[in-house]
């Protein structure tokens, strides 16, 4: 195509001319020493980066210490980098604090692109796929029914459901990972979540990210950083205990009973395909893959569920339309994932919430592993790339009335296409749990809206805030809601 030829031409031009001749990236004024640190310390970073795009365009640069970051704000530009030129941008930045939380860069999510990383991701992907085929549908249905009971037990009282959503999402991952599920009150679950939550929120805090850009700060006392180190040690202890327990019990299970990812991961170790070019995967890879699945798969799904209920409280007629569709299509029974093609209104709600509140709004930073270009700009090796998924999902050139919750835009004649969505990123770093997440979002929402009508806690004046709190995960602020049981079929 013409744009592809154009970009290849530009790339070859850059090979021969001095870099200074390539157009320089726009961006806000960078202060001596601080660079654009103040822009990055904004409390709702995705929406701030989106407002900068209105001023500087859909691709601009920010400086942080010696690091140059390039922020991508439109679907086309993000796809160019992550999908079309995936092999140029599949890296992750090396960072001091990233190394602390990822066992020295040995996790799938934060590990840099290498043969070892590819083998690690393949091992986890195959294990997840094998277990999903065997059991994902019933594992999710079981948790959806359990969540139904939890909501019934509130007896029409107003409650903040965010923790119930976290327990449901987490039980899916712990069942898949080690064949274990927990009650909300379980001390073991509280310990696990307490520490994973702390790690994610501390790691996203400016006190800690400053250590990556300004090495001198590492010499000063930093209580949040000391807490991070403690929580990471606690996390590793908990996971190690689970894996050891699992290994002790596993021989007593037949391979038919054994649906846990852990056994698929352990079985995958030492297989010839994982030892290409001398890569040997070990127990550490199993450990870090488990951490990746727990961190990647819990807060994301739970945050999405909280957003869905929050938006539906603002538009009760949409909630009714989904209920009506579920009743008429399913004739009283609970849905299967294969019913999704017959439930367009429900699917439109799911897409619209993913559009407005992509729960990983800035994905995870990428790194250019060689010199390349994006949108005609030269991008040198080691540049950090921030895919602003939130910005792409609010791009007025693609979405009409981008800030409004309008699921009908995805229905026939509504003018929007789910192909323009990028909530799971793309290319080599596409979310590893995309298929799991899609089935969870569908089944949880369908079960909840079939059995309950969600109404505001007191009156219309207590409708939840829709801005939220942005860190690595974009979460709704705490709110209470009443879940009124629908009459039985």
Mapping DSSP to helix (H, G, I), strand (E, B) and coil, where does residue 333 land?
Answer: coil
Q: Is 431 annotated as a binding residue?
A: yes
Distance CA 317, CA 297 (A): 30
Q: At 375, list the tokens.
A: 């949108």
Give the shortest CB-224-to-ligand HEM separation in angstroms: 24
Provide φ and ψ at 193, rounded to 5°. Answer: -70, -40
Minimum Å distance from CB 476 to ligand HEM? Answer: 13
- Looking at beta carbons only, is 313 or 431 nearer to ligand HEM? 431
3-state secondary structure of 18: coil
Distance of closest approach, residue 51 Cβ to ligand HEM, in angstroms: 21
78: phi then psi, degrees, rounded to nearest 5: -65, -45
User: Cβ 401 to ligand HEM, closest distance in Å?
Assistant: 22
* C-alpha to C-alpha distance for 128 and 358, rounded to whole angstroms: 23
Which residues 6+ apart lie within 8 Å of 258 measured at CB?
179, 250
Task: Give the DSSP letter string of 373-403.
Answer: EETTEEE-TT-EEEE-HHHHTT-TTTSSSTT
By beta-carbon proximity to ligand HEM, the closer residue of 53 and 173 is: 173
Cβ proximity to ligand HEM: between 179 and 358 the closer is: 358
Question: How far is residue 134's CA from residue 449's CA, in Å, rounded to a whole number?
Answer: 26
Contacts by 324-330, CB closer than 8 A, 24 or more apart: 326/446, 326/449, 326/450, 327/450, 327/489, 330/450
Residue 296 or 456 with smaller CB distance to ligand HEM: 296
Least Å distance, CB 39 to ligand HEM, is: 21
Identity of the residue, 250 or 364, whose beta carbon is nearer to ligand HEM in the bound complex: 364
Minimum Å distance from CB 266 to ligand HEM?
A: 18
Question: Contact, 355 vs 361, CB < 8 A?
Answer: no
State the minimum distance, in angstroms, from the CB of residue 199 to ligand HEM: 15
Interface residues toward ligand HEM, by CB under 6 A: 82, 108-109, 121, 173, 292-293, 296-297, 300-301, 304, 358-360, 363-364, 387, 423-425, 429, 431-433, 436-437
Between 14 and 292, CB nearer to ligand HEM: 292
- 473 vs 482, which CB is nearer to ligand HEM? 473
User: Which residue, 110 or 482, has its beta carbon nearer to ligand HEM?
Assistant: 110
Query: Residue 175: which residues within 8 A CB-CB, separation 6 or more?
Result: 139, 142, 143, 181
CB of 26 to ligand HEM, least distance (A): 23
Considering only CA atoms, which of 59, 98, 102, 110 is closest in space to residue 81? 59
Within a 10 A sphere around the Cβ of 21, how many other Cβ atoms? 11
Nearest Cα residue to 434 out of 335, 268, 296, 260: 296
Q: Are the beta carbons of 401 and 119 closer than 8 angstroms?
A: no
Question: Which residues belong to the annotated binding site for heme?
Answer: 431
Question: Which residues belong to the annotated binding site?
Answer: 431
């Amino acid at each position: 195509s013409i744009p592809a030829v154009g970009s290849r031409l530009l790339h070859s031009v850059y090979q021969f001319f001095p870099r200074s001749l390539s157009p320089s990236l726009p961006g806000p004024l960078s202060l001596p020493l601080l660079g654009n640190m103040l822009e990055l310390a904004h409390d709702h970073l995705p929406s701030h980066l989106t407002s900068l795009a209105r001023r500087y365009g859909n691709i601009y640069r920010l400086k942080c210490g010696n690091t140059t970051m390039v922020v991508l704000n439109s679907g086309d530009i993000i796809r160019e980098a992550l999908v079309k030129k995936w092999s140029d941008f599949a890296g992750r930045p090396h960072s001091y604090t990233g190394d602390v939380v990822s066992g020295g860069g040995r996790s799938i999510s934060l590990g840099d692109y290498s043969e070892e990383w590819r083998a690690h991701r393949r091992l986890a992907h195959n294990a997840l796929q094998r277990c999903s085929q065997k059991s994902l549908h019933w594992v999710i249905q079981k948790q959806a029914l359990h969540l139904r009971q939890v909501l019934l037990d509130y007896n029409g009282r107003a409650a903040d459901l965010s923790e119930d959503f976290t327990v449901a999402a987490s039980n899916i991952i712990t069942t898949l990972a080690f064949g274990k599920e927990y009650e909300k009150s379980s001390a073991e679950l509280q310990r696990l979540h307490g520490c994973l939550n702390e790690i994610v929120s501390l790691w996203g805090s400016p006190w800690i990210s400053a250590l990556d850009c300004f090495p001198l700060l590492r010499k000063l006392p930093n209580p949040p950083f000391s807490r991070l180190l403690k929580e990471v040690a606690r996390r590793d202890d908990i996971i190690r205990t689970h894996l050891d327990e699992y290994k002790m019990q596993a021989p007593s299970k037949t391979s038919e009973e054994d649906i846990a990812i852990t056994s698929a991961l352990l079985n995958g170790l030492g297989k010839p395909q994982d030892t290409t070019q001398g890569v040997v995967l070990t127990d550490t890879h199993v450990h870090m893959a488990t951490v990746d699945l727990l961190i990647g798969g819990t807060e994301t799904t739970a945050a999405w569920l909280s957003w869905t209920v929050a938006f539906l409280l603002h538009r009760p007629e949409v909630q009714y339309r989904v209920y009506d569709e579920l009743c008429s299509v399913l004739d009283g029974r609970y849905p299967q994932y294969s019913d999704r093609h017959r439930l367009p209104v429900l699917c439109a709600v799911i897409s619209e919430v993913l559009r407005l509140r992509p729960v990983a709004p800035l994905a995870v930073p990428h790194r250019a592993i060689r010199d390349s270009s994006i949108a005609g700009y030269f991008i040198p090796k080691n540049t950090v790339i921030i895919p602003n998924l939130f910005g792409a999902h609010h791009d007025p050139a693609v979405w009409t009335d981008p800030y409004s919750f309008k699921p009908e835009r995805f229905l026939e004649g509504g003018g929007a296409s789910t192909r323009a969505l990028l909530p799971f990123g793309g290319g080599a770093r596409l979310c590893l749990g995309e298929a799991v997440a899609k089935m969870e979002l569908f089944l949880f929402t369908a079960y909840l809206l079939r059995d309950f009508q969600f109404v505001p806690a007191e009156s219309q004046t207590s409708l939840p805030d829709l801005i939220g709190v942005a860190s690595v995960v974009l979460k709704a602020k705490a709110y209470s809601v009443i879940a009124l049981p629908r009459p039985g079929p």
